[in-house]
Structure 1
Amino acid sequence: MRVHVLGAAAGGGFPQWNCNCPNCTRLRAGRLNGRARTQSSICVQGLPGPDWALVNASPDILAQIRAAAVLQPNRAARDSGIAAVLLSDAQVDHSTGLLMLRESTRPLPLWCTDPVYEDLTRGNPILGVLGHFCGVERRAVPLDGSPFTIDGVPGLQVSAMPLASKAAPYSPHREHPVPGDNIGLTFIDTASGRRLFYAPGLGERTDAVDAAMRAAQCVLVDGTFWTDDEMIAMGLSRKTGRSIGHLPQSGPGGMLEWLAELPQSTRKVLIHVNNTNPILDEDSPQRAELRQRGVEVAWDGLEIEP
């Protein structure tokens, strides 16, 4: 199994176009030891080959495809290494890139849960718009943990589980979440049995998610905020990280405490990192703490073979 990180930032990317927080300001000025990042998305394959499953289609998808030679197999006049698209939620930063794929020469195979399908046909009708172009062939993601395979991506099984997080702002159940608004995904190499658990939006610890993370050789999980009040402290929002569905890294009950309880052999990688998060500064004390704990920060172009 091979995972290619296309984008590692949260919504807005890094630097965010209209943000003058210390991280964004210093990166633009060349005074921050860190990397620019596009919005969160990965692609996954089981066996080596030209085709991949695109997991979340960010608004930056065109730039990400241009930067990822693996998605340009060049077998025909019009071609792509994207065999199918799998969505973890209906958030803007994970779904609006679908519109950029409208020139597909065939309907896009799209895997998503029922609530996500509802949100993308009603609240934000992206799929209706695509119907005027390439269209989609929707496949339902089961929420009972049963494994499924994706046509065109051999050697790979996937299973999904509901996560405690937030639905998209345009969802009718934004304040009353339902199972399937947000899912964690386990990718399984059918030859080796090795697993990677992926959850870019993770707002609460549960026994089921803990078990899935413990069973995986690598976890690629929510790294949005360092502190729960990060955006409030900077005067950028009135909302805490937890209130919008993201478990902070630091503090009691935070992501770092959780990751520390996983087996020592587990590879731990943070993704969906907000532009305000101090871990984007590779010289920061927060980044030093991650290194001490054996926790990595994903970057655009990172390749993982669990």
Structure 2
Amino acid sequence: MRLRVLGSSAGGGFPQWNCNCPNCDGLRRGSILARPRTQSSVALTANGVDWLLINASPEVLQQLRETPELQPARQIRDSGVAAVLLIDAQIDHCTGLLMLRERNSPLPLYATPEVLDDIGSGFPLTRLLGHYCGLDLRPIQLDGQPLAMPFLPGLELIPVPLTSQPPPYSPFRGRPRPGDNIGLLVRNLASGKSLFYAPGLGQIDDATRAVMAQADVVLVDGTFWTEDEMIRLGLSSKPAAAMGHLPQSGPGGMIEQLDALPASTAKWLIHINNTNPILREDSAERAELGAHGIQVAHDGLEIAL
């Protein structure tokens, strides 16, 4: 089992096209120690040929070009992307579906009924793509049962409901439903190893904490360092919680949550906002993460279990 990080940034990427915060400006000028990142997406394979694309970011074409393995070239038009799974309906996680419209058969799409509702109405991707390749919709039920994915032999994927906000265009913004956001527990049945992937976490309840505790690797929300990060920079009036994210620092923050996991757990942060100081590889905040055994994901990172 291999997981490849195609994109590790939050919405807007890093640097964000219209942002002159110290991080984005510093990266453009070459005055900070950091690397550019595209918007959050990962790909999962069991055999190195057939891949599950988890979230389709706006930069999906760039991400595929930078990952030649996802282009096996078995016929004149081909892709290693066997299916797409959406963990939520956020713009930065589903817009890339439009870039995959040249497929010559309906694209298998796994998502909860809540996510399918949002991308069928408020942001009608399902109707739009019906005029191109079309979608083969495969609703995810949150019943604790593994998803049926025969192209990932030997892997077991269990969706985990999370508490977070649906996208701003959703009529349920501010009234989140189970199914608006999920994580994935992926088990390699041969090795017995497992990974928990959750790029959007607004809070961690007991059930989610129990799932994280059983995983050998956790790859989770690294959006903001502080609850008021965007407010202090004058970029938004909303705190992290209102946007559906748990910041790393402070009481009950992600650092504290990850500290409670077994010492053997490999801990990674993903979906990192362009304002977050952990993007600077020589920052005090990055050093603090390192002291807690927490690593920061980057585009191109591979995790094998």
Q: Same fold (TM over 0.5)?
A: yes
How far off its partner does 1:151 sit?
3.3
- C-alpha distance in 2, partners of 1:298/1:150? 26
Q: Which amino acid aligns with 1:110?
A: L
- C-alpha distance in 2, partners of 1:89/1:146? 19
Contact 2:40-2:270 at 8 Å conserved across structures = yes
Residues 154-184 of structure 1 deviation map (CA, whole Å, 9 limit, x = unaligned): 2221111211100011112111111100001
Contact 1:5-1:300 at 8 Å conserved across structures = yes
- C-alpha distance in 1, partners of 2:278/2:2? 25
Q: Which amino acid aligns with 1:62?
A: L
Please list, as runs of the form range in 1=range in 2, the aligned pairs for 1:55-66 lying within 5 A after superposition. Answer: 55-66=54-65
- C-alpha distance in 2, partners of 1:230/1:268? 22
How far off its partner does 1:76 sit?
1.1
Give the TM-score, by structure 2 length: 0.99
Residues 62-96 of structure 1 deviation map (CA, whole Å, 9 limit, x = unaligned): 00000011211111111100000011000000001
Please list, as runs of the form range in 1=range in 2, the aligned pairs for 1:1-306 lying within 5 A after superposition. Answer: 1-46=1-46, 48-306=47-305
Counterpart of 1:14 in 2: which secondary structure? coil
How far off its partner does 1:149 sit?
2.7
How far off its partner does 1:193 sit?
2.3
Q: Which runs of 5+ in 1 are unaligned?
A: none
- C-alpha distance in 2, partners of 1:78/1:267? 38
- C-alpha distance in 1, partners of 2:270/2:241? 16
Q: Which amino acid aligns with 2:229?
A: E
- C-alpha distance in 1, partners of 2:113/2:228? 32
Q: Which amino acid aligns with 1:12?
A: G
Residues 7-63 of structure 1 deviation map (CA, whole Å, 9 limit, x = unaligned): 0000000000000000000000011111100000000112x2311100000001000
Q: Which amino acid aligns with 1:111?
A: Y
Contact 1:13-1:274 at 8 Å conserved across structures = yes
- C-alpha distance in 2, partners of 1:155/1:266? 22
- C-alpha distance in 1, partners of 2:273/2:174? 22
Q: Which amino acid aligns with 1:112?
A: A
- C-alpha distance in 1, partners of 2:133/2:148? 23
- C-alpha distance in 2, partners of 1:252/1:75? 52
- C-alpha distance in 2, partners of 1:156/1:108? 21
- C-alpha distance in 2, partners of 1:37/1:201? 17
How far off its partner does 1:269 sit?
0.3
How far off its partner does 1:256 sit?
0.1
How far off its partner does 1:292 sit?
1.2
How far off its partner does 1:153 sit?
2.2
Q: Which amino acid aligns with 1:190?
A: L
- C-alpha distance in 1, partners of 2:262/2:288? 18
Identity of paired residues, percent? 59
Q: Which amino acid aligns with 1:7?
A: G
- C-alpha distance in 2, partners of 1:151/1:118? 26
Residues 132-168 of structure 1 deviation map (CA, whole Å, 9 limit, x = unaligned): 0000101111212211231322222111121110001
Q: Which runs of 5+ in 2 are unaligned?
A: none
Contact 1:45-1:155 at 8 Å conserved across structures = no
- C-alpha distance in 1, partners of 2:68/2:156? 24
Counterpart of 1:231 in 2: which secondary structure? helix
Contact 1:149-1:156 at 8 Å conserved across structures = no
Residues 100-149 of structure 1 deviation map (CA, whole Å, 9 limit, x = unaligned): 00001110000000000000000100111000000010111121221123
Give the TM-score, by structure 1 length: 0.98
Counterpart of 1:100 in 2: which secondary structure? helix
- C-alpha distance in 2, partners of 1:279/1:273? 8
